[in-house]
Structures are given as C-alpha cells and as structure tokens.
Structure 1
Amino acid sequence: MSRPSSPRSTPSRLRRALHLALSAPLATAAVAVAQEAHTLEPVVVTGTRTEKTLDDTPIRTEVVTREEIERTHARTLTQALENIPGLQLREIHGKSGYELSLQGLSSDQVLVLIDGLPISASTGSTVDLSQYLLTDVDHIEVVKGATSAQYGSSAMGGVINVITRPAQPGLSGTATLDAGSYGSQNSKGGSWRPANRHGQFSIQGGNEQLRGRIAADVLDDDGFGINPDAWSRQGDEIRRQQYSARVDWLPGARQRYFVDGSVYREDDTQRYTTFVPPNLLPQRKTETIERKRITGGGQWELGNGTRLQLKGVGERYDSTSQAYSNEFPTTRRNARQEMGHLTAQVDLPAWRNQLWQFGADYHYEDLRQDNNGVSEFVRSGSVDRSSKEVFAQNDIIFNDTWELLLGARYQDDSDFGGHFAPKASLRGKLLNTQDWSGVLRASFGQGYRVPNLKERYYLFDHSALGYMVLGNPDLKPEASNSFQLGGTLTFRQDVTFEVNAFMNRVKDLIQTDMSNTTIIDGVTAYTYRNIARARTQGIETGLRWQATPALALNVGYTFTDAKNLDTGGELTRRPRHIGRIGADWRALPDTTVSVRTRIQSSELISSDDVAQSNGGSGGGGRSPGWTTLDLMVNQKIGRQLTLFAGINNLFDRQRDFSNPTDFGPLRGRFVYVGARYAFGSTQ
C-alpha cells in the first residue's frame, strides 16, 4: 500500500489519520477492527463519512457500544438510546413507539440511519425507534447539530447512525432468552407471570472470502393496565419480530461486497374507552406493520489509495389498522410507503495533507394511505418525491494540533428545486502531556428539511370531533444555522470532562397554524404553515471517571432553552434540564452491577398564555418532572454463559394517567431475568 509521506516529514497524528483513511477498505471493516480492540479508541464514521478514531474526529460524536447494549439489556433502539445525555424520547401520538429530540429539535428534524442508509418513517414523518431490534447492531453513533452537508434533508438537528456487524469467518453465534413482569399491573395472570418475553438468536460463519449470518429477534409483550380488571390498557399488547440474513464476499484484499435483507413485523392492540353520555364505551385498535428492507453494496481500493464505495437500500413499509367501538368495526386504514436510496462516494488519497471526498445520492419515496377505501390525501392516489444530491468534503490536517473539515452539499429536489448546505468544523489538540490531554471542537453548519409528504398532502379528518388538519402543498423547506463549541479534557485516561455549547436557529418552522382557520360544513379546518422562527440553545456537560479498576462512573447534564422567536414563548415538549447518571461496579471477577438514572425537569405541554404563565411542576399545561433508576446485574458462568437480571424504574415512578398534561414515564416497575449464551468469536 502506498504511503502519503515518510515518517520524517509527516507529523505523527497526520500519519495516523492518513493511515486510517488509506488502509481501512470499508466502514464495516473498521467496525470489525474496533470490535476486536474495544478497549482502545473506537472508530466512528458518521461525522465525516470516513473512518476516524473517536478522539481524532473533528465532529463531536457520542457512541453507544455493544458492551453497553448488553450490559443494560437493551432490546430495541429506543432502550439503547435512553441513556444518551440530552437526548429526549417521546411517545409517538396514537402509536406504541417512541421518537426522539436532539438539542431541542424534533424527531422530524433528526435523521435516523442504518449503516449510513435511511430507514422509513413509521408515520410518514418520524421514525419509530421501537421498531428496530438490536441483534445485528455493533454500536450506535450520535451526532448533534446540523449535518445536512453530510446527509442532506432531515439532518438539520442531527443524525443517529446504527452500525451493524459484518459477518465473521469461522463459526460463532449467540442466543438470548429473558422474561419479565409488570407486577400488579400485568394484563394477564398474576404478578409473577411473565408479561414480557424476549428471545434472540444469531449464527454466522464462513471463510476469509465468503461468510454469512442469519438472525432472529422476537419481543412479545402482553401490555399492562393500572387496573388489570378494567377494559382500558395503558400499555399496549405488542409482538415485534425481526429476521435478517447477511452475506459478505471479500474476493481480494482491496474489494468487499455485501447484501443484507431483513423483515420486521409488528402486531399491536390498543384498548381504551371513550365517554359517550352516559356511558364509557370500550374502544380497540389493532395494527399490523411489516417492513421489508434490503441493502447491498461494495467498496474497492485502487492501487494509488483511492477508495470507491457504492451502496443502496430498497424498503417497503406496510401498515393496516382497524378501529372498533364496542367491538363494532368503524375505520380501517391502510398505508404503504416505498423508499429507495443510492449513494456513491469517492475518497481520494492524501494530497498536501488534505483528504478529499466526493459523492452523490439519489433518493426516492412514495406514500399512499386510505381510510375505509377513501384516500387520506388532499389529492387522490399516491404522492411521491425524489432528489438528486452531490456533496464534497475536504479534511485539512495542518499539523499535530489543528485540523479543519470543510463540507458542502447541493440538493436538487423534484418538488423544491435546489438547496445548498455548507459546514465547517475545527479541531485543535491544545493540550498533550504525559498526564493531560485537551481537545477543542468548534463547528458551524447549515441544515434544511424538505417538508414530508404527510405535511403537504395528508388529510387528518376528525370531523366527528369538530376539526380536521389539512396538508399544505405550498410549504417551504425549513432551514437552520447550527453553532457548536466545546472541548474534552482528559487526565491519565481515568477522568474525562466534556462540555459543549450549542445554538440552533430555525426559520420557516413548520407548525399547525392555529390562528388562521376556515370552517367547512361546520368543521374547523387547520393546516400546516411556515409560521415560526425558533431558537434552541444550551450547554451539554459530561464526566466519565474510572474511580477504581472495578468502579466506573458516568454523569451527564444538559440545559436547553427553546424559544419561539415570533411569539417570545417557550417551545412545547422541550424540558430545560435533562440529567443522566450511570455506574458500573465489578463486584466480583465475573459479577457486574450497573445503575442507570434518568432525570428530566418539567416541560411545557400547551403554548397558550395561561399555560405559559403557570410554571412549576404539574398542572397548568406543564408535565411534571421525573426521575427513574434502573438496576442491572450480569453474572458470567464460564466463558460462554451469562445470567442477568434487572429492575427497570426501581422506585416505580409512573405518570398520573388521569392528568392529560402528565407525560412522565409510561411504564412502572418492571422486573426481569434472562440468560445469554455465546460461542465462537462472539463469546
């Protein structure tokens, strides 16, 4: 392999960065290297679309490792992300899943990727994080702030990139079984009946040139109710299944190809009541969801160090829901989404301490939905959009201290024409002694989001309740300016303190216009409009301390000030204070005890004047603050078997379901036990 320069003429950090850029043939290969040496610096790809160690990336990246996923027994993407400082998880209205918010920007403005490729939004606008199970996941990377220069529309608030594991040679596999109870809130049977059951299995093998993996993951939840004898169930009955298969082919040292297919299926039942004087009528809604996804691609390295990458995804997402009132069928809704994305990327060899990258994306999506056979779009039939995009990036490594990353993207959208987004990120290693190291990071980026198809065409008809929400085909894209400034200070690898200040300014924010309405046959009609300018700003802090060889502590705190600049009022559903506390204690050589605490302040629910003037916790349009604590124990039995147990929400902090402004934790205390068996290279 050719080298950019001799060791005498190239600074040590530059040599390391160039070596990463030229020697790692594929992002997934870099993940495998990081997996083998997880005690060293992890390798990340999201911030720069190329491999860099976590310390060397100029764009701040937070990582959820595979070790953390297994230590905390996370089963879904929602659970894997809930301990990221400053990341807020919210229930999706009318659904059984969760969406997220980063730095005060909503889930519509955060892009969720699987291996750098998009995944369909469950509602046509936001990704349900609960609809991705974790069997194939190696780690998860979180980048906050505008990232449109790297990834285009919907990345104006940040990116969540789930990195899966490539198949490994040899023969190895894992199997996990666990079960848990909601205690007195179990919907079926007594307090100790397993109300939640989970099973996972994967096996992989092959040789150095050809290897494959198959995996299955099933999560079955009976749901729960604060009064199990009543009809209403506060926690839905859900069965989630995910099956996948992957093949990796490495015909030579400079080539790699892969194909990965998966099927996800969800069956969900909601039960609630509606007051129809003088009675409460039982209501039920069932939903069946199926997502079929196939990805594939390859990467080639030329003799001069140039790397070429081509990969794509095709996905179809189908949903059928049926509503019943007093067991009489009322509405049947069918939705279908189709999405395709193709990306090509070229990374050039080092030239004058610069690493150039060029690429192009093509994206297509189609959506149709009907209710009782009638289209739910302003115009009949399906709606679709596509975009063609090009991007460029230059990573300039001046010396061992300073690095500057410049990037830009141009998008030509089928409906909105051209859009340009630049980004600049600076990294400086300002302190580097035997005991201390310090890194400064600063970035500015512009973000944008093309209105989704539902915001433009969807007809949300609740005429029976006196209102409807109409899509607006004349919406303009949202746009933002994002500023990030922070640093990391480390002492002897034992103590790391991190601080980051952020400010995001959004214009043409899309909201439902509540002040300009029309009356249609006695029904109030609202519509989406670009009516607001908003600002979110704050500070994120984190402290990691290896207190003793057996005890590690992790603390994070985020302050967020989110304001509507047109009205001067506070933005809804943005808590000002979010805290995370974690501790991992190796009590015995094969016994680990872990604690995870989540703290969240009150949040505004209604933006009217009465609610805004009524501060404090609870009532008056504010959801009260809350704190939860999870306790987990892992016990290894030999090299292959791990027994584990846990209590989620140990102190049983649960919302008041009689208070419509209480958005505290949905689930109360949950107790579970399980076992994990691993053999081969996965043990």
Structure 2
Amino acid sequence: MYRGLPAQTCALLPNILLLAGLCTQPAQSWASPSREFEPLVVTATRTLQAQSLAPVRVELVDASELQRMHAQTLADALENVPGLQLREIHGKSGHELLLQGLSGDQVLVLINGQPLATSTGSTVDLDQYALAEVERIEIVKGASSAHYGSAAMGGVVNVITRDVSDGLSLGARFEGGSRPGQNPGGEDAEASARSFQVQVEGGTPALRMRLAADQINDDGFKLHPQDWAQPGDRSRRQQYAAELNWQAAPALSVQLNHNRYQEDDESRYEYYAAPAYIDQRRTEDIERIRSSVDAGYVWQHAGALSVSALDERYSSHSVSHSQAAVVTDRRAHIDQQQWSVQWDAPRWKKQLLSIGIEQRHESLRQQSNGQSELQGAGEVRRRGDDVFVQNHIKLGQHSILAGLRAQDDSDFGGHVAPKLAWRWGRAWHQDGQIHLRASFGGGYRVPNLKERHYLFDHSALGYQVVGNPALQPESSSSWQLGVTAQRPGLELHANVFRNDVEDLIQTDLDNAQVLNGVALYSYANIARARTQGLETSARWRFTPLWSLQLAYTYTDAQDLNAGRSLTRRPRHMARMGLDWDAPLDLQVSLRGRYQSDERVDADSTTRSPSWATVDLKLNHALDNRLSVFAGIENLFDRQRDFSSANDFGPLYGRYVYLGLDWRWRVESS
C-alpha cells in the first residue's frame, strides 16, 4: 500500500489520488506486470506511475540512499544528485540549490506536494528540514508540468514522507562527530556535532498516527581555537512532527500533518575598522509552524477528488552585535496559506485527465530596531489564483502529457503557460528497454516579496541589498531532450537542456552606489539570459555485491545582454558513487563530488577555484533491530582558502562521526 491506504481499498478503488502525495493503485499507473516492483513516482504528473514510464524524467533519492548516506537534512540528501548544485545562502547559515543553472528562487521545494516556506522571503534553506519522516525525494528538472506554477521555472523537488504503518513501531537514532583540528574547544576528539532522532507510530488499518522528533546540534568550527572569528556557525536545530491518517470510509481518506521547526544560530566574524579588527557577532532564532490537511474521495465510475489546505508561518529574530553593543535587532515574519482542489477523471480511452484550481496568500513583515524595513509599508501581501488542466495520453509505445496553466497574481495580473511532454519506449537488447523523452514548458515567476520590498542590511560587512518595487516577472522557455537505456543491472541516461529566460532577476552588481562606505545594491531584471547544457549519468551493478554510479553535467549560463557568463554557475560538475555490500551485513559506500571553477562577480574575470571532495560511509547491522554506522565526510580535507574572499570551495573540512540506529516493530493482529 501507499501513503497508508489499506490494500483492499487500493484494489477496489484504482484511481485514488491525493494532492499531497497520497498514492494510487499501481495498475492505474500503466505499469506492466514486469515492472510491478519498479520505483513509483508521483511528481511528474501527480498520478502514480512507474519511474521509467513517466513522460517527464523523475530522479529519485530513495530510502536506501538516505540510509546509506546517514542524511539528516534535505541538504544532505540532495548533495549527490547529478546536475544539482548546492551553495551557501549569502549572509545566512544554510544552503540553496540550483537546477540547470537556475537559482534557488526559481526551484520549487515541496513537502508532499505542498510548498515549503522560503528563508526570509528569498529561497528555501535546505538545512531547515530534517528527515525523520522522509521516505524518498523526487526531482523534476525544467518547467515541464502544468501542475506547478510560479517558482518552478528551474524544476521541482518533492519530499515524500513515509506511509504511517499500523501495529506499533519505535525508532531511535543517535550520532556524534568531530572536526579534528578545528573543533571550537581545541580538542581533536571533541564531540562538536551531535544529533538525535526518535519516532513512534502505529494504530489500526483505519486510524494511524506518527510522532517524530529530530535534534541536530553543531558547535561549528574555528581555524584556531583562540580566534574570535568562527567560519562555521554554531547551530541548534529541532523539528517535531505529528501525522494522523484516517480511512473514514472505503472511498474517503483524510490526512492531518503538523510540523514545528526551531533553530538557534550564532555567527562570529571580524570587521576591519582602522587601525584594528572589531569582534562582530550575530544570533538568529528561527521558527516555522506548518499545518496541513489533505482529503481524497474516489467514485468508482466518476474519478477522484482531492482537496488540500496549508497554513505555514515562518519567523526569524536576528540580533547583530559589535563587540558588546547591539547594532541591529531585526524581526521578520512570513506567512503563507494555500488551498487546492483537483479532480482526476476516470480513465477513458487510455487518457487520464486532471483539472485543478489553487489559491495562495503570502505576507511579509520586517522590522529593524523597531522600524519597518519594507519600503513604504509595515506589511506587504500578495495573492495568486491558478487553474490548470493536464491530460496524460497513452498511444501504444507513446505517451503524451499536454497541459496548460493559467495564473492571476494580485500585483502582476494574468499569465498562461503551456506544457507538453512526450515519451516513447520499446524493448532493447535482451530484457532491456530504451526510452526517449522530449518536453517543452513555459516557465513564469513573479518577483517575491523580498526582491521587491525588503532591505537586506549587512552594513557591518560593507553592503546592503535594497528591494526594487519596479521588478517585472521572469518568464522562460524550457526545452528538454533525453534518452534512457536500461538493462538488468545497468542504466545509461543523457539529457540536453536549454532554458531561455526573459527578465531574469539578479542582484545588480554593475550599478552599486557607495554611501558612507557601504555599497548599496538592488535587484534588477536582466533582459535576456540562457542556460543550456548536457546531463549524463550511468548506474552499473557489475556484481551482486558491487555497484557504481557516475554522472557528469555541463552547464553554460549566459547573460545575453552583457555577453558574459552568469555568476556562481560552474560549467562542469561530476558525481561518483561506489557501493559494496560486504560480508557480515556490512555496507561500504564512497561518494565523490567535483565542481569546476566559477565566475565570482559580474564586473571582473575573478573566478573561484575548482574543488573535489570524497565521503566514506559505513553501515553494519548487528541484528534485525540494531545497527551501527560511521563515516568520514570530506575524507581528504579539501577546504576553501579563508584568506581569499573569492574562494567558494567547501566550507567544512574533514568530519568524523559514529552513530547507532535502533528499530522495533510489532505487527497488527
């Protein structure tokens, strides 16, 4: 079963669909019997289907990979995905992602199909979501699906939580680690990072509940114990989640979710004011409260109806100190509410038709030292209304996904974006298959509230970024053409992509003004930009115990107006994975990452150097309940040169850790 639906319900009601990732009977996915156990995905079309048969390619980080990599946060889970670039959020402790050369503002991050709050109105901080409940993560690159609107120009990352099981299950996980030579306390064996995870779930087939908690404490790191400056921030992250699944009737399912995230950070750095350096410190307290409800009803001959609603409130309180004096006391509040209704028609002549409507409300409040930082207002709001229609048609070896999304924004009016995808597949070379995919999607993103109204003040670091109310929406044309060849134990994939963007929103580095020694930047629209390139990957299980994964991505990202490359987009990225299922229930895994040099700023040829890192991961099952794991991240200790402001290589050096994982389950009678 999927998302907690009883097996007998799936068998009787083959078209169940819930917007937040509630799943359907696999037969409705057009999967052939030979693919019964193939991974099933939902993000491409919001209807469940075999991964290889999705008309839009879906990349998957599954439960096995999450367990092998000991991933704690969404950033950990995504760092090995081919073609995906993680980079630090400027001025904050956290990471954003880029897909196909498009930034985190242009990538939609979802939890069970519903958007995750951005960090202070800008981009999703991937470190601010823990993984205790997560089953898998699905990634769709490009603007190929009509189901996703504004903020999905670059693609979609959809985090799918696990089904809540009946009976009774308990789980706990602990990890402790150290950064030799850079622990804040100066001891090589100091436990400078600690994490704990606990879960309890169970119930009856009709009513089930889960409670989960994550806590991640990191003392950060120093280059020298006696230094005031601490390049790696101290942080404490906590996440608490509750989920209730109710099978109210054979045709009606209801799911309630509540998630509370809290974070405390401390940054320490030095600012040079002649003739000496002055100690600076910034603390930030973050809270995210997220509640959602999803319900699905299925008529045996009239299709399926799903309804969802989301309320999310994100707040941060940051205080900047210069020596002992408080310089800035800033508070920000971001609220978002969204509801949606989707109807999936019954299958008719090999067609699956989906029609839906969505409405969302967003608001931003920002104060510094008691005064609003939003230009001319104490609070800014916006509303969006979307209607989408999408039809999935299967014609022999061909499948076509055609859609249209119309959206109306309270500030920018209406826009219509077409979507079209095609897949062809056939048997290939003794039990193998080959799939061709092509897609076109019109992307569209309205400027977020921060880009238009917010003052991002880092005067202590010598700059400010000022919102620009005159910004216009971005639009894009996304083209994808790919081929996948599969045989038992082997998969080869290649994809050519191109994104033509108009009015791309970037920080305007060319027209900075200097006032009292502080550089004032603003956001600006770049009239024309283009990202294009090639993604390739290979997976090969060359013996029953060994498997190898290799991937290479080439990206050319250009500001066509200025005739130069866009900043912070490396041309070359590579990923490597090697797994060995050793004797005595031991798993050994290596993960390698390479990134070429990248342009640092628009008005010079300065480049950040290339880098490569390797991680070693070990897992050993002591029995069917208890396992021990260990790892070394950044095995060869490749770290940036902190004396260079133009080096954006790895922030953290070598990290060594050890942990325990315990699971216990009682089946329902």
Q: Secondary structure at the match of 2:64?
A: helix
Q: Name the amino acid aligned to 1:555.
A: L
Whether contact under 8 Å (1:496, 1:543) holds in the other structure is: yes
Q: Name the amino acid aligned to 1:624.
A: P
Q: Name the amino acid aligned to 2:481.
A: L
Q: In structure 2, how many angstroms separate the alpha carbons of the residues matched to 1:24 and 1:522?
A: 61
Are 2:589 and 1:594 equivalent residues in the alignment?
yes
Stretch of structure 1 that moved more, 24-33 or 653-662: 24-33
Whether contact under 8 Å (2:269, 2:279) holds in the other structure is: yes
Whether contact under 8 Å (1:147, 1:159) holds in the other structure is: no
Whether contact under 8 Å (1:20, 1:51) holds in the other structure is: no
Aligned to 1:10: none
Aligned to 2:653: 668
Aligned to 2:297: 300
Are 2:530 and 1:538 equivalent residues in the alignment?
no
Are 2:543 and 1:559 equivalent residues in the alignment?
no
Are 2:632 and 1:647 equivalent residues in the alignment?
yes
Aligned to 2:7: none
Percent identical pairs in the alignment equals: 49
Cα distance change of structure 1 residues 98 and 461 upon mapping to structure 2, 3 Å threshold: closer
Q: Deviations over 1:498-533 (max 9, x none)?
A: 000000010011123345567879976543222331
Aligned to 2:474: 478
Q: CA deviation at 1:123?
A: 2.4
Q: Secondary structure at the match of 1:456?
A: helix
Provide the alpha-carbon RMSD of the alignment.
2.2
Q: Secondary structure at the match of 1:475?
A: coil
Correspondent of 2:147 among 138, 147, 150: 150
Stretch of structure 1 that moved more, 196-205 or 181-190: 181-190
Cα distance change of structure 1 residues 87 and 681 upon mapping to structure 2, 3 Å threshold: farther
Aligned to 2:80: 83
Q: Secondary structure at the match of 2:23?
A: helix
Aligned to 2:307: 310
Q: Name the amino acid aligned to 2:348.
A: W
Cα distance change of structure 1 residues 564 and 172 upon mapping to structure 2, 3 Å threshold: same
Stretch of structure 1 that moved more, 173-182 or 21-30: 21-30
Aligned to 2:642: 657
Q: Name the amino acid aligned to 1:46.
A: T
Aligned to 2:326: 329
Whether contact under 8 Å (2:39, 2:51) holds in the other structure is: yes
Q: Deviations over 1:169-227 (max 9, x none)?
A: 11012110010000110012511111100000001010010010001100001110111
Correspondent of 2:346 among 346, 349, 356: 349
Whether contact under 8 Å (2:16, 2:296) holds in the other structure is: no
Are 2:26 and 1:66 equivalent residues in the alignment?
no
Q: In structure 2, how many angstroms separate the alpha carbons of the residues matched to 1:670 and 1:537?
A: 35
Superposition TM-score, scaled by structure 2 size: 0.94
Q: In structure 2, how many angstroms separate the alpha carbons of the residues matched to 1:63 and 1:465?
A: 40
1:359-398 equivalences under 5 Å are 359-398=356-395
Cα distance change of structure 1 residues 102 and 473 upon mapping to structure 2, 3 Å threshold: same
Q: Deviations over 1:93-131 (max 9, x none)?
A: 111100010000011100111011011111211000000
Q: In structure 2, how many angstroms separate the alpha carbons of the residues matched to 1:657 and 1:20?
A: 62
Correspondent of 1:427 among 420, 423, 427: 423
Q: Secondary structure at the match of 2:564?
A: coil
Cα distance change of structure 1 residues 416 and 162 upon mapping to structure 2, 3 Å threshold: same
Q: Deviations over 1:12-46 (max 9, x none)?
A: xxxxxx99993445474539989xx9993111111
Whether contact under 8 Å (1:182, 1:668) holds in the other structure is: yes
Whether contact under 8 Å (1:25, 1:255) holds in the other structure is: no
Q: In structure 1, how many angstroms separate the alpha carbons of the residues matched to 2:596 and 2:497?
A: 19
Cα distance change of structure 1 residues 31 and 398 upon mapping to structure 2, 3 Å threshold: closer
Are 2:443 and 1:439 equivalent residues in the alignment?
no
Superposition TM-score, scaled by structure 1 size: 0.92
Q: CA deviation at 1:329?
A: 1.1
Q: In structure 1, how many angstroms separate the alpha carbons of the residues matched to 2:546 and 2:522?
A: 54
Q: In structure 1, how many angstroms separate the alpha carbons of the residues matched to 2:24 and 2:271?
A: 51
Are 2:107 and 1:110 equivalent residues in the alignment?
yes
Stretch of structure 1 that moved more, 251-260 or 153-162: 251-260
Q: CA deviation at 1:625?
A: 0.6
Correspondent of 2:505 among 481, 501, 510: 510
Correspondent of 1:229 among 220, 226, 234: 226
Q: Name the amino acid aligned to 1:170.
A: G
1:482-497 equivalences under 5 Å are 482-491=478-487, 493-497=488-492
Cα distance change of structure 1 residues 629 and 385 upon mapping to structure 2, 3 Å threshold: same
Aligned to 1:5: none
Aligned to 1:405: 401
Stretch of structure 1 that moved more, 147-156 or 235-244: 147-156
Q: CA deviation at 1:589?
A: 4.3
Q: In structure 1, how many angstroms separate the alpha carbons of the residues matched to 2:63 and 2:459?
A: 48
Q: Secondary structure at the match of 1:654?
A: coil
Whether contact under 8 Å (1:148, 1:447) holds in the other structure is: no
| Number of aligned positions between the proteins | 651
Whether contact under 8 Å (2:117, 2:314) holds in the other structure is: yes
Q: In structure 2, how many angstroms separate the alpha carbons of the residues matched to 1:681 and 1:662?
A: 52
Whether contact under 8 Å (2:504, 2:527) holds in the other structure is: yes
Cα distance change of structure 1 residues 522 and 192 upon mapping to structure 2, 3 Å threshold: closer
Q: In structure 2, how many angstroms separate the alpha carbons of the residues matched to 1:327 and 1:84?
A: 43
Whether contact under 8 Å (1:147, 1:155) holds in the other structure is: no
Q: In structure 2, how many angstroms separate the alpha carbons of the residues matched to 1:174 and 1:38?
A: 31
Stretch of structure 1 that moved more, 146-155 or 362-371: 146-155
Whether contact under 8 Å (1:650, 1:669) holds in the other structure is: yes
Are 2:11 and 1:22 equivalent residues in the alignment?
no
Q: CA deviation at 1:374?
A: 1.0
Cα distance change of structure 1 residues 338 and 234 upon mapping to structure 2, 3 Å threshold: same
Q: In structure 2, how many angstroms separate the alpha carbons of the residues matched to 1:256 and 1:47?
A: 22
Structure 2 gap ranges (5+): 1-9
Q: In structure 1, how many angstroms separate the alpha carbons of the residues matched to 2:517 and 2:592?
A: 49
Whether contact under 8 Å (1:166, 1:248) holds in the other structure is: no
Q: CA deviation at 1:281?
A: 0.9
Q: Name the amino acid aligned to 1:250.
A: Q
Cα distance change of structure 1 residues 517 and 278 upon mapping to structure 2, 3 Å threshold: closer
Q: CA deviation at 1:346?
A: 0.5
Q: Name the amino acid aligned to 1:171.
A: L
Whether contact under 8 Å (2:15, 2:303) holds in the other structure is: no
Q: In structure 2, how many angstroms separate the alpha carbons of the residues matched to 1:280 and 1:519?
A: 22
Q: Deviations over 1:636-662 (max 9, x none)?
A: 011011100000000000000001110
1:115-134 equivalences under 5 Å are 115-134=112-131
Correspondent of 2:452 among 421, 438, 456: 456
Q: Secondary structure at the match of 1:151?
A: coil
Q: In structure 1, how many angstroms separate the alpha carbons of the residues matched to 2:646 and 2:24?
A: 43
Q: Secondary structure at the match of 1:30?
A: coil
Structure 1 gap ranges (5+): 1-17, 612-620
Q: In structure 1, how many angstroms separate the alpha carbons of the residues matched to 2:413 and 2:236?
A: 42
Q: In structure 2, how many angstroms separate the alpha carbons of the residues matched to 1:248 and 1:275?
A: 56
